[in-house]
Every structure is written in C-alpha cells, then in structure tokens.
Amino acid sequence: MNLIVAASGGVAALKTPTLIRRLEEAGHKVRVAATEAAFHFITPLSLAVAAGSEVFDQASWFKADGQAKHIDLARWADALIVSPATADALASAAQARADDVISALCISGIPKIIWVPAMNTAMWQHPLVQKNVETLKTIGHAFLGPVSGNLAAKGEAAGIGRMLEPEEIVAALPSLFKSQDLSGKHVLVSAGPTREYLDPVRFISNPSSGKMGYAMAEAALARGAKVTLITGPSALTPPVSANTQKVETALDMLEALKGSFASCDILVMTAAVADWRAKHVATEKQPKMGEEQTLELIRTPDILSTLKPLRSKQIMVGFAMETDKGVERAADKASRKGLDFICLNYPTQEGTSFGGDDNQITVVKPNGDSEKLARMSKRAIADIILDKALALKQS
C-alpha cells in the first residue's frame, strides 16, 4: 500500500522512523509528513533518512513551486497514519482546520485515515478529546490504541495513553482493510489451558499455548466483531481491541463464559480445559511425603455442555483433539455438547497443534459429515471457522 506516515508533536515521534522502517519491511511504500511541533522531538533529517524522501512539512508545503503538495500526496496515498497523534492533531482534524499538514491531508481525499494516539491519561480521557475522537470515528476514521502502560512524563503513573509499538501498528494494519462482515456481532472465544491447583504452587495443566484462540480473536476483530477473549494462562499478548478476561481454573473459565454467553452471537471454544481437578485443594504447600502419592481427582464441569441449555441464538463451535477414530469421536462430541460443528485436530502431527503456528483441522458436524482442510496458519484457519459460523448464523 501507499502510506503517508505523519508525525505530530509528542515525544513518541521518536518512534516514527522505526515505524517507517517496519512498514517498508512489510512491503508498503511510505512517504512522511510532520507538523512543526513534531520537530521539537525528531529532526526533519531523521524522518527524511528513514523514508528516503522529502518530508512534507510547513516549509515544503509553502515552497513557491506551483504544486499543491497536500493534494498530490493525498491522491498517491491509500492511507494516512498519524503516529503519534496528539490531542492537538485530533482537535484540528475534527474541526477540519487545514492550518497544518496533518489536518490539511485529512480533508484532501485520502481513502483511509488511521490515528495512533499517544498522550497523558488525563488528556486522553478528557471529554473534549473523546468528543473529537468520536467525531472522527463517525466519519470512518480508524484508531489503533492507545493502550495502558508507562507514559512519557517522568514519575507519571502507568495508565491509558501509551502509543502502540511500531510492530503492533504494522500487525494491526491489515485488519483495518478487511471486509467488516462481522460488524455488529459479538464473538466469544476461549483460549489456552486451564490450571487445576493441588496446592498454592502445584497444578495440573496441559501444553496449550493459546495461539489458536488468540488467532480467532484477531480474525474476528479484523472483521469488525466485538470480541471477548476468555483466556487461561498464556505467554501471548492479547489483541489490544479485545475485551480480555484472564482466568486460571476450569471453574473460573465457566463463570467468565457464562457472563458473556447470553450476549454473544458466536462462541468458539478453543480452550484446552483440564478434565480433572483435585477433590481437595490444599491451602498450604504440601510437603513431599514418601515415594508415592495418591491424588484424588474429580471431573471439571464440561463447559460447553453447561452452556448448551442456555443457548438461544448462538452458533457454537468446539475443538477436539483425538489420536484415534477422529471423525467418529468428534461427531459424537459435537452432538453431546450441542455444537454446530467441531474442529478436529491431531496432537501428533509435526508443526501443527500445540504451540505451533500452523494447524490442520477437519470440520466435523454432529451428523458425522466432515471436511478435511489443508494445513495452514492458525490465523487462516480462524477466518475459515468464522466464515462457516457466519454462514450458519445467516442461514
């Protein structure tokens, strides 16, 4: 894509050259613009070197060379990314002021405008700033972040207002150009393993990484869905726009899912819920005793079967990992757990399943009909699952 990266005057402008590099590495063509305030934080030369072209700024804009540079740039661009976006840049754009390069570009016909705000928590949360954000959203502008984290000012407590990292911006970009066919839909995703504690420091679990569930959440967000992600312990960073709830045990996961199930349109249950939990959880760490130890275990509740009677409009999708008689067992599970379909996968295939970036699934219906899909990335599988769930929802 042809992208204009425009920096306004915040300390996060120091990250703009890195953003330009990352976008170019991802195959985009980048030109750069900056307000005069941005030059308090980053030099024109740093931006020009990163972009490999002239910076569009107040000086080049008003050069007497007979060109309307903002219009030429706007015609070239597929999107404008304002990063960092300050409260002032948002206000100027919301008022269509055109008295600096960013607000002028915003009203020059660029098809997509993306804001990456960076500011102090109090400023971001101020009602007038939020009013400007809403005004811009109403006319189709997109926002990436801000997120909670450490802020620039020395001694300032962490809070919402931190700009996304350049890598996160690059990763989120494709989602802004996807078909928004899940807009208005609420997708509920469970992910990762559960931990069933024996005592405060020991638990039963499994090697689920959460990758399939996080990919589901990302895919649904990219298609405009509201996403709730209920996740067991995972080393992954949840997508910024998902409503993420972290849980540990199967019982916690059940409660969290119950809380969101009624309002969801599609439930995708990728979590590897532990089947057993300790009958008695010790409140103190248990000392080692003897050479053998016997654990008394009881079944965890089957979450899908518990949600089944509460179902109204929801499409329900599960996952099944089998080593033998896959389709037969998966169809039986789909039927018992009240699923529209189940995604059968095998733990034994190299490069797929637990922890891998790829997966190979067979989609199995409760009546035993099955469709084997090719091995592909978990993200690509997530989109196919959403296609199928949406088709059922609309049928």
Q: Do the Cβ atoms of 23 and 170 come closer than 8 Å?
A: yes
Q: CB of 320: closest distance to ligand C5P in angstroms?
A: 5
Q: Which of 299, 298, 230 is nearest to 269 (CA)?
A: 230
Q: CB of 97: closest distance to ligand C5P in angstroms?
A: 52
70: left (phi over 0), alpha (psi -120 to 50) or beta: alpha
HSE-up of residue 169 (Cα within 13 Å, Cβ side): 33
Q: Do the Cβ atoms of 343 and 326 come closer than 8 Å?
A: no
**Residue number with CB closer to ligand C5P (236 or 321):** 321
DSSP state of 266: E
**Residue number with CB closer to ligand C5P (241 or 314):** 314
- Which of 187, 250, 331, 390: binder of ligand C5P (CB under 6 A)? 250
Size of the site for ligand C5P (CB under 6 A): 13
User: Footprint of ligand C5P on residues 330-369 (CB under 6 A)?
Assistant: 333, 337
Q: Would you call 223 helix, strand, or coil by DSSP?
A: coil
- Which of 104, 269, 361, 389: binder of ligand C5P (CB under 6 A)? 269
> CB within 8 A of 54, min separation 6: which ones?
48, 60
Question: Can 2 be counted among the known catalytic residues?
Answer: no
**Residue number with CB closer to ligand C5P (81 or 250):** 250
Q: Which of 2, 120, 150, 206 is catalytic?
A: 206
**Residue number with CB closer to ligand C5P (146 or 326):** 326
- Which of 42, 89, 271, 316: binder of ligand C5P (CB under 6 A)? 271
Binding of residue 319 to ligand C5P (CB under 6 A): yes
- Would you call 26 exposed, middle or buried from its count of C-beta atoms within 10 A (0-12, 13-18, 19+)? middle
* Measured distance CA(198)–CA(267) in Å, rounded: 30
Binding of residue 303 to ligand C5P (CB under 6 A): yes
- Which of 264, 304, 315, 361: binder of ligand C5P (CB under 6 A)? 304
Q: CB of 220: closest distance to ligand C5P in angstroms?
A: 16
Binding mask 99-118 for ligand C5P (x = CB under 6 A): --------------------
> CB within 8 A of 52, min separation 6: which ones?
none
**Residue number with CB closer to ligand C5P (222 or 320):** 320
Q: CB of 253: closest distance to ligand C5P in angstroms?
A: 8
Binding mask 133-172 for ligand C5P (x = CB under 6 A): ----------------------------------------
> CB within 8 A of 193, min separation 6: which ones?
205, 206, 207, 208, 210, 232, 233, 234, 271, 272, 274
* Measured distance CA(239)–CA(243) in Å, rounded: 9
Q: Do the Cβ atoms of 321 and 345 come closer than 8 Å?
A: yes
Binding of residue 198 to ligand C5P (CB under 6 A): no
The dihedrals phi and psi of 189, each to the nearest 5 degrees, come to -125, 135
Q: CB of 267: closest distance to ligand C5P in angstroms?
A: 9
**Residue number with CB closer to ligand C5P (115 or 214):** 214
**Residue number with CB closer to ligand C5P (198 or 257):** 257
Q: Would you call 19 helix, strand, or coil by DSSP?
A: helix
Token pair, residue 96, equals 């269509």
Binding mask 220-239 for ligand C5P (x = CB under 6 A): --------------------
Give the catalytic positions in this structure.
206
Residues that bind ligand C5P (CB under 6 A): 250, 269, 271, 273, 300, 302-304, 318-320, 333, 337
